[in-house]
Structure 1
Amino acid sequence: MDYDALAAELRALRENVPGITDTLIAASDGIPIIGDVVRNVDPAHISALAAADHGIARQAAEVMGLGGLSQTVVFGSEGYLAVYAINRMSLMVVLGDKGLNLGRLLHESRAVIDRVGAILTPLAQRPPNERNDPAGARGEDTLDRPESVTNSLAGRH
């Protein structure tokens, strides 16, 4: 997987949309893949919350006959959490402050999701038993990441 290309997409989105504070890509089960995390947030915690948010919203859309879910946005008094389905195996998470330009985010995010999806496709097409080894089931990080990516996920730049 091209982690540099993923990191570049996340960084560009943050730089191009006013108000974005942090971005990350997570597996649909809540495991972080890579992040452009600037604030002191825990990527693992945000990934897990985003996966839960998306899962509940997907079920609600399905039960109500609304079709496939593409995104959710949580509006808070101090900012936003947007969760986008990249494909059935991964999510893009965007955190923003209260100055986030939501219109610009909606406009910019579609192209980013398409490009990120193309980068992730080889991973998404693998059978579930080939994506992680048994250590992954115990919560251990099993992805082979360059040190720069691991530092990004840990909030170190």
Structure 2
Amino acid sequence: MKPPSSSTALISELQALREKVVGITDSIISTSDGLLVASDSDSGEQESLAALCAAGMALGSRTAAHLGLGGLRESVVRAAGGHVVFAAIGEHTLLAVVGDEGLDLAGLRRELPGAVDVLGKLLAGPAAG
């Protein structure tokens, strides 16, 4: 993965996802080893969230592989106060979307593939065209 020349386009895509899906409170993009790439979050916890999401995605990937289910596409954590949805962006990057109790999971599932595709192209740079 080539680092983007500016994270502005990545952040714009994260903001667009937030506008399309009710209940999204934060979203980040991180590398599979937990380094923050871009964030649409006012929380001061973005770097910690990036590390935790990478660990969660790794666990989901290993579980899917162990069961012979193929590559992990997404993983959902449902908690008393909301949700965290992890989605793979290629092999080395992930998107984490945090939502409140009212997160429209069906809407997120509709919008997620397109967002992941756009983010993957932005992360790959101009050569991915």
TM-score by length of 2: 0.90
Question: CA deviation digits over 1:10-37, x for unaligned, max 9?
Answer: 0111111000000110011000001000
Q: Which amino acid aligns with 1:80?
A: H
| Residue in 1 that maps onto 2:116 | 113
Question: CA deviation digits over 1:53-72, x for unaligned, max 9?
Answer: 01011011111111111110
- Structure 2 residue 7 is the aligned partner of structure 1 residue 3: yes
Q: Describe the SS at the equivalent of 2:33.
A: coil
- Unpaired segments of 5 or more residues in structure 2? none
Q: Please say which structure displays the higher CA radius of gyration.
A: 1
Residues 109-148 of structure 1 mapped to structure 2, 5 A cutoff: 109-122=112-125
| Residue in 2 that maps onto 1:94 | 97
Q: Which amino acid aligns with 2:50?
A: S
- Shift in Å at residue 121 of structure 1? 1.4
- Structure 2 residue 27 is the aligned partner of structure 1 residue 34: no
TM-score by length of 1: 0.75
| Residue in 2 that maps onto 1:52 | 55
| Paired residues, number | 122
Question: CA deviation digits over 1:95-142, x for unaligned, max 9?
Answer: 0000000000010111010000001114xx9xxxxxxxxxxxxxxxxx
Q: 1:19 aligns with which of 17, 20, 23?
A: 23
| CA distance in structure 2 between the partners assigned to 1:44 and 1:4 by the alignment | 18
- Unpaired segments of 5 or more residues in structure 1? 126-157
- Shift in Å at residue 41 of structure 1? 4.4
| Residue in 2 that maps onto 1:140 | none
Over the matched positions of the two proteins, sequence identity in percent amounts to: 37
Classify 1:55/1:114 alpha carbon distance in 2 versus 1 (closer, same or farther; 3 Å): same
| CA distance in structure 1 between the partners assigned to 2:7 and 2:44 by the alignment | 20
